[in-house]
């Protein structure tokens, strides 16, 4: 069962890696970023500082510290500007690059939040379609990744993913 959706607080998932919807500084923020930093503890910020940030669509790995997850894959989603500034391609890159990083690091299970659909205002329906399609397209290149979870914070998001899966 490689792809599944569930409704949960991503900081509670005991997977090899949870994905953080970070910002370019990688120095923490609100939303899921804030929740992950709070749960992981201050050592996370200490590891993030020297990483020199992260470009939109890229992904960087840290340890999970106090989280049940072993690692965190930090990725920066696009801010929604109406769909005219390559947002779809950048969002797809977040999912693809996070999976490729999990593959190269030998991680078998990964959980994604609904990247960019909070503060960054990406329409959830469009984002969910991109998330599922880009994961399906990348999985053949990631044979070591056996379990992909779309971790929805709301029942509405869960319904979107369940309809797509």
Mind telling me the catalytic residues?
33
Nearer to ligand APR by C-beta: 79 or 140?
A: 79
Strands (E), 17-155: 17-22, 59-63, 71-76, 109-112, 147-152
Instruction: Report, in Å, the least distance between residue 14 CB and ligand APR.
Output: 14
Nearer to ligand APR by C-beta: 49 or 144?
A: 49
Tell me which residues touch ligand APR (CB under 6 A). Answer: 9-11, 21-23, 29-35, 77, 113-120, 151, 153, 157
R_g of the chain computed on alpha carbons? 14
Cβ atoms within 10 Å, residue 47: 16
SS3 18: strand
Question: What's the DSSP call for residue 132?
Answer: H
Instruction: Report, in Å, the least distance between residue 143 CB and ligand APR.
Output: 27
Instruction: Report, in Å, the least distance between residue 8 CB and ligand APR.
Output: 7
Q: For residue 40, is it left (φ>0), alpha (ψ between -120 and 50) or beta?
A: alpha
Nearer to ligand APR by C-beta: 22 or 48?
A: 22
């Amino acid at each position: 069962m490689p792809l599944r959706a569930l409704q949960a607080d991503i900081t509670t998932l005991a997977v090899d890696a949870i994905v953080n919807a970070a910002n370019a500084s990688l120095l923490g923020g609100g939303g899921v970023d804030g929740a992950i930093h709070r749960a992981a503890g201050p050592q996370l910020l200490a590891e993030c500082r020297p990483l020199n940030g992260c470009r939109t669509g890229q992904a960087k790995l840290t340890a999970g510290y106090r989280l049940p997850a072993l690692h965190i894959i930090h990725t920066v989603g696009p801010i929604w500007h109406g769909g005219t500034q390559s947002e779809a391609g950048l969002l797809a890159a977040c999912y693809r690059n996070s999976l490729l990083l999990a593959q190269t690091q030998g991680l078998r299970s990964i959980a994604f939040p609904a990247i960019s659909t909070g503060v960054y205002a990406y329409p959830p329906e469009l984002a969910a379609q991109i998330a599922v399609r880009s994961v399906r397209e990348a999985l053949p290149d990631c044979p070591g990744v056996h379990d992909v979870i779309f971790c929805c914070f709301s029942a509405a998001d869960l319904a979107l993913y369940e309809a797509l899966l």
